[in-house]
Amino acid sequence: MPFSWYVINTYSGHENKVKLNLLQRIKSMNQEQNVKEIVVPTEQVVETKNGQKVQTEKRVFPGYVLVNMLMTDDSWSLVKNTPGVTGFVGSSNKPIPLNAQEVDRILHTSTVEKPKAVAMFSVGETVRVMSGPLSDFNGEIAEISEDQSKLKVLVNIFGRETPVELSFEQVKKT
């Protein structure tokens, strides 16, 4: 029987704790030959907070952990009875392994992808322009383009609202 990747369900926010618990249980129960790898899929995300770019790591699938294992009664019981694990993804008595394309997509896209920018802004919010020719002007966000890390801000110039395209770094919440 070959090693396969299985998805286990955990309490959200406990993924890393479950990984550590599993690693300890594998050692203490001499199951190293049945479990190859445990992965909490994450991706690097660039967020803009107060005009500063901050790179953080976000879980791709909150509440899930991937385990590359040989499915035996012992290994199934080891994982199923680990604190924080609510079960395997699949039917209750027979976990379904991921296929090769799913594994490749989950494990490789989450590590190779360039960091994504995440807008910490919302439409209608007032921001202050921090750099450029309109520095120190206030404006209201009309549009957010996360994929380009840009905002369309309505700035009051000479008594008229003028749409201006600005990057996330050029503005700060007021």
Same domain? 101 vs 125: no
pTM: 0.61
SS3 60: coil
Same domain? 93 vs 134: no
Q: What are phi and psi of 64, to 5 degrees?
A: -135, 145
Same domain? 47 vs 130: no
Q: Which structural domain range is residue 17 located in? A: 4-117
Same domain? 110 vs 159: no
Q: What is the pLDDT of residues 26-62, one digit of tens each?
A: 999 998 999 999 999 888 777 777 777 788 888 888 8
- Domain count within the chain: 2
9: tokens are 């369900």
CATH number of the domain that residue 101 is part of: 3.30.70.940
Q: What is the pLDDT of residues 38-47, one digit of tens each?
A: 999 888 777 7
Same domain? 96 vs 53: yes
Tell me: pLDDT of 159 over 60. yes
- Does residue 34 contact residue 70 with C-beta atoms inside 8 Å? yes
Same domain? 152 vs 140: yes
Same domain? 138 vs 84: no
Same domain? 30 vs 110: yes
Strands 116-118 and 42-49: parallel
110: tokens are 């989450």
- Does residue 174 contact residue 124 with C-beta atoms inside 8 Å? no
Same domain? 131 vs 159: yes
Same domain? 85 vs 124: no
Q: What is the pLDDT of residues 70-123, one digit of tens each?
A: 998 899 999 999 999 998 887 667 788 888 888 887 777 544 445 566 668 889
CATH number of the domain that residue 150 is part of: 2.30.30.30
- Describe the crossing of helices 15-28 and 73-80 by its angle, rounded to 10 degrees: 140
The percentage of residues in the chain with a pLDDT greater than 90, rounded to a whole number, is 43
Q: By CB neighbour count within 10 A (0-12 exposed, 13-18 middle, 19+ buried), where does 58 fall?
A: middle
